């Protein structure tokens, strides 16, 4: 996969909701007891979570270089530098130089901003790819599984540096925003899969919490995956979904037995003449 260095994703041109890089399952479990609020607004419980972006680095937008270049182009171009430099200031400085700026211009952003930007770009990409994934004819659970496998595949170009990205997102300072970003990711996956349950439904939080745990487990599995495009991790996700569906079927109450059939009445004796 090659990043498009000059096509700014849709979230750079509008306000976007806090989200976060992926972190370890252990870090999630410390916050799973009180899941973060869903990304729907209080006055519109069916709003699309994809419309509620708000990037962590918005506060830096007033510090743009005087060259007339949108400073966020540094972030977008720096994604191409991550395979070589990781989530570092070197990647940001290299992007600034490529744009004809001073290397110091890269300091407008932090490595954490770069990780979060990657998450936003990949969420936009998932939204664009969803119509082409042949989801018709699948139930909601299977659609969610396909979408999650596709999202995992986006990690392939940066997987050797993703452990560092996870570590950045799991620090105490970043963990709340990380949790919010992951929650928004699974909410978006549910929406794209056709899940339209309202937040008042008991299944709304249960499904998203389970998917959040599964996604973080898949990212941890991907760290040791040497297959092309992380296909082994995608198979891991598919197996977990099959296990969840099987457990759901075993856990459902058995159908009531059919009513007993009444025996036929005994033959009536024939009266002799």
Ordered by where they begin, the domains of the chain are 10-249 (1.10.357.10)
Tokens linked to 194: 């056709």
- Percent of the chain scoring above 70 in pLDDT: 71
Q: 6 by DSSP, 3-state: which?
A: coil
Total-model pTM: 0.69
The model's pLDDT over 118-160, given as tens digits with 9 standing for 90+, comes to: 999 999 999 999 999 999 999 999 999 999 999 999 999 999 9
Mean of pLDDT over the chain: 80
pLDDT tens digits, 37-91: 444 444 444 445 554 444 444 444 444 445 578 888 999 999 999 999 999 999 9
pLDDT at position 253, please? 56
Bridge partners, residue 44, by sequence:
41
| pLDDT confidence of residue 186 | 97
Tokens read off for 206: 């249960």
Q: Whose CA is closest to 52, among 126, 120, 110?
A: 120
- The span from the CA of 228 to the CA of 157, in Å, is 10
Give CA–CA dist 209/203, Å, rounded: 10
Q: Which of 97, 218, 94, 243 is nearest to 166 (CA)?
A: 218
* Burial class of residue 50, CB neighbours in 10 A (0-12, 13-18, 19+): buried
* Confidence (pLDDT) at 54: 44
Distance separating alpha carbons of residues 115 and 57, to the nearest angstrom = 11
pLDDT at residue 18, rounded to an integer: 36
Cα angle vertex 246, ends 243, 247, to 5°? 85
């Amino acid at each position: 996969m090659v990043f498009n260095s000059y096509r700014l994703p849709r979230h750079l041109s509008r306000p976007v909701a806090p989200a976060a890089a992926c972190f370890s399952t252990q870090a999630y479990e410390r916050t799973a007891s009180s899941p973060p609020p869903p990304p729907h607004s209080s006055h519109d419980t069916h709003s699309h979570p994809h419309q509620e972006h708000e990037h962590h680095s918005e506060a830096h937008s007033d510090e743009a270089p005087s060259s007339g270049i949108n400073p966020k182009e540094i972030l977008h171009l720096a994604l191409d530098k991550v395979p070589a430099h990781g989530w570092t200031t070197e990647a940001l400085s290299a992007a600034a130089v490529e744009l004809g700026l001073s290397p110091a211009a890269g300091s407008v952003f932090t490595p954490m901003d770069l990780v979060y930007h990657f998450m936003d770009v990949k969420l936009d990409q998932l939204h664009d790819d969803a119509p082409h994934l042949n989801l018709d004819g699948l139930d909601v659970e299977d659609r969610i599984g396909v979408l999650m496998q596709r999202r995992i595949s986006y990690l392939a170009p940066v997987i050797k540096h993703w452990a560092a990205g996870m570590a950045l997102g799991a620090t105490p300072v970043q963990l709340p925003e990380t949790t919010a970003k992951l929650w928004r990711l699974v909410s978006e996956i549910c929406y794209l899969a056709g899940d339209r349950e309202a937040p008042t439904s008991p299944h709304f939080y249960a499904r998203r919490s389970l998917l959040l745990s599964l996604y973080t487990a898949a990212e941890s599995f991907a760290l040791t995956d040497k297959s092309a495009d992380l296909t082994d991790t995608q198979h891991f996700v598919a197996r977990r979904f099959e296990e969840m569906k099987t457990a759901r079927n075993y856990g459902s109450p058995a159908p009531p037995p059919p009513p007993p059939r009444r025996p036929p009445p005994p033959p009536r004796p024939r009266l002799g003449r």
